[in-house]
Structure 1
Amino acid sequence: MTIPAFGLGTFRLQDDVVIHSVKTALELGYRTVDTAQIYENEAAVGQAIEESRIDRNELFITTKIWIENLSADKLIPSLKQSLTKLRTEYVDLTLIHWPSPGSAVSVKESMLALMAAKEAGLTRQIGISNFPIALMKEAIEAVGVENIATNQIELHPFLQNRQVVDFAKQQGLHITSYMTLAYGEALKDDVINAIAEKHQATPAQVVLAWAMKLGYAVIPSSTKRENLASNMAATDLTLDQEDMASIAALDRQQRLVSPEGLAPDWD
């Protein structure tokens, strides 16, 4: 199983805005698109992909199952609805978006339903998102780590999530970073700007290159063509050990995403 290192995120983008973003990104050479049921943009993403007329085999499409659909009787029907909206017979990766609040639906039940979706050909790979260590253990126990493609978590220079990352590495479980630019706050940091100047790069390229050098996949979003192109160029930027150490020192466990009533007990 492989997860592309670089892709396009679509969080908070809807209607014509997300259609423009996805179509522009695909024109520029992006081939990975990340969406979710709760984003309410799957249909628009599907429209953009279809209108771009890129061979389905060239694309890597991810969606995420919302908490209301995590039970065994709802997961597959909801995923089929997502596929209809996305205008595709399968997605490449399906994630549990958030663990079921209060364990209303067990991790085991959801993971087994995801496995059934994979076996039915609805998704090529399955994974998890926003899972702390305790729930990662439950997911691994349910289906085996070899069947979990990634854990997509908030991870940026100010929240480097080392406990979760270290556990994942021990298990051989891949990490996808979301909110990699920290809502743009990382782009204002003096250390990151100094590294950008040193490499004649943008601060966003530095942060994305940092995450990818650590082995994480990244899915930054943008509505502007120049930013989409610039972000993609991060794949060509190589940071040195001094750069990596400087960014490592920025960690202050500053979590930006922790919705009340939804967030699990973080590590």
Structure 2
Amino acid sequence: MVARRYVLLARTLPVVLLVIAAKIALERLGWEFIDVSPLHASIVGGAIFIVGMMLTGTMSDYKESERLPTEIAASLESVFREGAYVKEQHPSFDLARLAETLAHVPHTLRDDLVHGTTHTVETVERLTDSFLEMDALGVPPNYIARLKQEQAQIVRNLMRVSYIQRISFLPSAYTLVETMLGLLIVLLLFTRIGAPLVDAVMLGFIALIFLYIVRLLHVLDSPFRPAGSGPDDVSLFQIDAIHDTMHTRLDERAGHHHHAGGG
């Protein structure tokens, strides 16, 4: 069984083997009519430069995507802790409703990212009902304002994640890279480099590198995919844990108050 981290390589190898087979066939047919020249090195060097530029730009968005779920989870945690504090000061506050709203976020987040829906933002906006309840209970306005800032930060991060997921980094550059690499492979197919076997091996090596990077660019450009789709999708485990965390803390608080009341 192929290890998860080799999935992308396993998907690329069949195409590389086809390129090698095509090269061997063209050699036997004698259809290699292009001789190696200094221009070949320039073309390969230019391809490496453009692909490197694309990889750098896409990687920066991917790294940001890895950071945003942690920030969202931290904001959700902060809202719950502040709500628990309000519960201590105002026992009639409905902490369970606040916790249920927060716990519902993981249910819709990945589907929103994969399918472009906005159910999670609508869930976060429901926190306003709890803030209004705090206001009615006499919670200081500056305290509620801080919670609203956390709410706005969650929505901002959700929208940023959605943007990264749906918008490609320089789509025209992707077209250039794919076209350029396709033409480069075709050029090398009809180029005589040295001994027939050496030609096929060299072309296979070059094709493997470039085709793998192109596939990697597409993976990095859409970092959120259905759970378990691949080893490179950004993990949402911290946000997924929020669901159980909220209910566990509510149960612990209920048990604590029960024991305190019994004592």
Q: Is TM-score (shorter-chain normalized) higher than 0.5?
A: no
- TM-score of the superposition, structure 2-length normalised? 0.25
Normalising by structure 1, we get a TM-score of: 0.24
Larger strand fraction of residues: 1
Greater gyration radius: 2
Q: By percentage of residues, which structure has more helix?
A: 2
Tell me which of the two structures has the higher relative contact order, counting C-alpha pairs closer than 8 angstroms and 6 or more residues apart.
Answer: 2
